C-alpha cells in the first residue's frame, strides 16, 4: 500500500501557514493602530492590554478556520470551496466579534479590526493559492498523487477516466480498472491514448487495491455492483487507508447543489435546482455594474491608445459591433475593437473551406482578414475590452457563457439552449480552459457546467484565471 503521509504533511503545513498569516495580520493591525510600543496599550472598555486582545482574536480566528473545516482534505488543493470556506470563516469571526462588541459594549478599537480583517483574509487566500501552486507543480512531476482504482461498467468507467486524465492538476492517476467480467490477465482499456490495465472483476477489488497500490476506489456503476456488495466493500476497505467514492451518475453538478440524505435506510442524493433568481442575481448584477465601471476608469488611457492605433493602421471604424444573443435569447450589439479589415464579414464565405473551428464555430489561426494591430490586440484579448460597456449597460456579465452568434443559436438543441438562462460573459470557464483550442463539445460542456453551478466565488476564481490565461496567450487567435 502506498503511503498517504503526503496529505498529512500538507495539512500540517497549511495549519501552520494559517496561524502565521493570522499572527502577521493582527500584528500589523496592532502596530498601525496603536504604534510599535503598544503591547500594554489599553484597548476597549475593559482596558485590556492590546497584546491580550490580539492574542484572543488570533486564537478565536484560528479556531473559526478549523470550525469551518478549511483543512478538510476533500476540498484542499482544488476547486473553489477551499477559498469560499476561508472567506466565510473570516467574515464569521469578525461578525460575531462585532455583535459581542455591541451587546457588551466592549468598545474594541474599530480601526484595529478594520485593518486585521482584510489583511488576514487576503493573506490567507494568497497563502492557500501559493500552496496550491506548489502542489500543482509537484503533481505535474507525478508526486503527491491519488492512485485511483476504477470499478464499474466500461461506459461509465471510461467517462470518469477521461475526465481525470484531461485534468491532471486534480492529482488523480488511474492505476487500474475492475470490470463486471474479465477474460484475460493482459486485458487493457484504451483511454486517451493510454492503456489502463484490467485488474479483475468486481469480486477482486480488494486484491486489486493491494496489487495496484491504490489510495482511492472510485465506483461508477453502483447499481451493477449491488447494495450488499457495496456495503461489504466499504467494510473491507476500512483498514486499508483507502478512500471509497461513488459516482452518482450525474455530471457537472457542483457540491453546493447536492445533499445526501437517508431515506428508508438508503442514501438518496438530493439535487437542488440552479439558483438564477433572487439574491444571487442581485449580487451578480451589482458586481458586474460596479466592477465594469471601475475597470473602465482604470483602463481608459489604454482604450484611447488602442483606438488611435486602430485608426492609424487601417481604414474603417475603431469599434466593431457584432450581433450576439443574450439572456433569454434576446439579441444585442456587442462592442469590440475592430481587429479585421473593413467588411470582413462579407469575406467569411470565401474562407469557409479553411475553417479550423469545431461545431458551429468559425475560427482560423492565420485569418487573412486580421490587421497588424488586430493581431496584437487579439493575442492579448485587448479587442474584447469594449465589452465592459455591454456589462455596464446590462446586456453582458463579467463572467458567463460565451456570447453566441444568432446562426449558432438557431442550431442549438434543447440541452445547449440552457446556456441562455444567464447573461453571456466577457470571460468564463471556456476562456480559462483553452479558449480557441477547445472542441465545440467541450466548450458547450463548460458553459453548461457554469450555468448549472454559478456562484460569486466561482466568478472570482474565473476572473483570476482569466488574467493568467491572457498573459500566457493560451489558445488566443
Q: Give the separation between CA 385 and CA 223, rounded to whole angstroms.
A: 50
Helix (H, G, I), strand (E, B) or coil at 178: strand
**Which H or E run includes 66?**
helix 50-67
Among residues 169, 126, 121, the alpha carbon closest in space to that of 145 is found at 169
Within the chain, which residues score under 70 in pLDDT? 1-4, 36-48, 104, 106-107, 109, 183-185, 249-279, 344-366, 414, 434-438, 469-477
Residue in the block written with cell 479483475: 200
Question: What does the block give as the cell for 104?
Answer: 457588551
Helix pair 81-104, 110-140: axis angle to 10 deg: 170
Contacts of 203 (CB under 8 A, 6+ apart): none
**pLDDT given at position 1:** 44
- Torsional sign, CA 88, 94, 97, 103: negative
**pLDDT given at position 294:** 94
- The percent of the chain in helix, strand and coil, each rounded to the nearest 5, is 55, 15, 30
Among residues 21, 79, 429, the alpha carbon closest in space to that of 256 is found at 79
**pLDDT given at position 47:** 63
119, 28 in Cβ contact below 8 A?
Answer: yes
85, 70 in Cβ contact below 8 A?
Answer: yes
Q: Give the separation between CA 111 and CA 115, rounded to whole angstroms.
A: 6
**pLDDT given at position 338:** 92
**pLDDT given at position 422:** 83
Q: Give the separation between CA 461 and CA 458, rounded to whole angstroms.
A: 5
Distance of CA 86 to the CA centre of its chain: 15
pTM above 0.85, yes or no: no
Helix (H, G, I), strand (E, B) or coil at 389: helix
**Which H or E run includes 228?**
helix 227-237
Contacts of 150 (CB under 8 A, 6+ apart): 157, 160, 161, 174, 176, 177, 178, 196, 218, 220
* Separation in Å, CA 389 to CA 254, 329, 378, 476: 31, 20, 18, 22
Strand pairing category for 194-200 and 48-49: unpaired
Q: Give the separation between CA 345 and CA 334, rounded to whole angstroms.
A: 15
Angle, alpha carbons 469-449-295 (nearest 5°): 45
**pLDDT given at position 26:** 92
**pLDDT given at position 267:** 67
**pLDDT given at position 176:** 93
**pLDDT given at position 258:** 65
**pLDDT given at position 329:** 85
Amino acid at each position: 500500500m502506498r503511503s498517504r503521509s503526503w496529505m498529512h504533511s500538507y495539512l500540517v503545513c497549511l495549519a501552520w501557514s494559517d496561524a502565521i498569516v493570522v499572527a502577521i495580520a493582527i500584528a500589523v493591525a496592532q502596530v498601525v493602530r496603536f504604534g510599535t510600543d503598544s503591547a500594554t496599550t489599553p484597548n476597549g472598555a475593559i482596558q485590556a492590554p492590546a497584546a491580550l486582545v490580539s492574542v484572543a482574536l488570533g486564537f478565536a480566528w484560528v479556531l473559526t478556520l478549523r470550525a469551518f473545516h478549511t483543512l478538510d482534505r476533500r476540498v484542499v488543493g482544488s476547486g473553489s470551496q477551499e477559498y469560499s470556506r476561508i472567506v466565510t470563516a473570516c467574515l464569521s469571526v469578525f461578525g460575531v466579534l462585532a455583535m459581542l462588541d455591541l451587546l457588551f459594549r466592549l468598545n474594541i478599537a474599530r480601526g484595529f479590526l478594520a485593518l486585521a480583517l482584510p489583511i488576514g483574509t487576503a493573506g490567507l487566500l494568497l497563502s492557500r493559492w501559493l500552496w496550491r501552486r506548489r502542489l500543482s507543480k509537484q503533481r505535474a512531476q507525478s508526486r503527491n498523487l491519488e492512485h485511483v482504482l476504477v470499478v464499474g461498467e466500461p461506459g461509465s468507467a471510461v467517462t470518469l477516466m477521461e475526465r481525470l486524465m484531461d485534468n491532471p492538476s486534480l492529482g488523480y492517476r488511474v492505476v487500474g480498472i475492475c470490470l463486471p467480467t474479465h477474460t484475460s490477465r493482459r486485458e487493457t482499456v484504451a483511454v486517451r491514448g493510454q492503456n489502463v490495465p484490467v485488474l479483475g472483476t468486481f469480486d477482486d477489488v480488494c486484491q486489486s487495491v493491494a496489487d495496484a497500490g491504490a489510495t482511492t476506489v472510485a465506483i461508477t456503476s453502483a447499481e451493477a455492483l449491488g447494495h450488499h456488495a457495496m456495503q461489504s466493500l466499504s467494510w473491507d476497505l476500512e483498514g486499508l487507508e483507502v478512500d471509497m467514492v461513488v459516482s452518482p451518475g450525474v455530471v457537472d453538478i457542483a457540491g453546493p447543489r447536492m445533499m445526501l440524505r437517508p431515506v428508508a435506510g438508503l442514501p438518496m442524493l438530493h439535487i437542488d435546482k440552479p439558483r438564477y433568481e433572487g439574491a444571487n442575481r442581485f449580487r451578480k448584477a451589482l458586481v458586474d455594474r460596479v466592477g465594469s465601471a471601475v475597470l473602465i476608469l482604470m483602463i481608459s488611457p489604454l482604450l484611447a491608445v488602442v483606438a488611435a492605433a486602430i485608426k492609424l493602421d487601417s481604414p474603417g471604424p475603431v469599434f466593431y459591433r457584432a450581433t450576439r444573443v443574450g439572456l433569454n435569447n434576446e439579441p444585442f450589439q456587442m462592442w469590440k475593437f475592430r481587429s479585421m479589415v473593413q467588411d470582413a464579414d462579407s469575406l467569411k464565405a470565401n474562407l469557409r473551406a479553411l475553417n479550423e473551428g469545431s461545431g458551429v464555430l468559425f475560427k482560423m489561426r492565420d485569418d487573412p482578414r486580421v490587421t497588424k494591430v488586430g493581431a496584437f490586440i487579439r493575442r492579448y484579448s485587448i479587442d474584447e475590452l469594449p465589452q465592459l460597456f455591454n456589462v455596464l449597460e446590462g446586456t453582458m456579465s463579467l463572467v458567463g457563457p460565451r456570447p453566441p452568434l444568432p446562426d449558432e443559436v438557431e442550431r442549438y438543441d434543447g440541452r445547449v439552449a440552457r446556456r441562455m438562462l444567464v447573461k453571456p460573459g466577457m470571460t468564463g470557464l471556456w476562456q480559462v480552459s483553452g479558449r480557441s483550442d477547445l472542441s465545440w463539445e467541450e466548450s458547450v460542456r463548460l458553459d453548461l457546467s457554469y450555468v448549472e453551478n454559478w456562484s460569486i466565488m466561482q466568478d472570482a476564481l474565473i476572473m483570476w484565471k482569466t488574467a493568467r490565461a491572457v498573459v500566457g496567450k493560451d489558445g488566443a487567435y
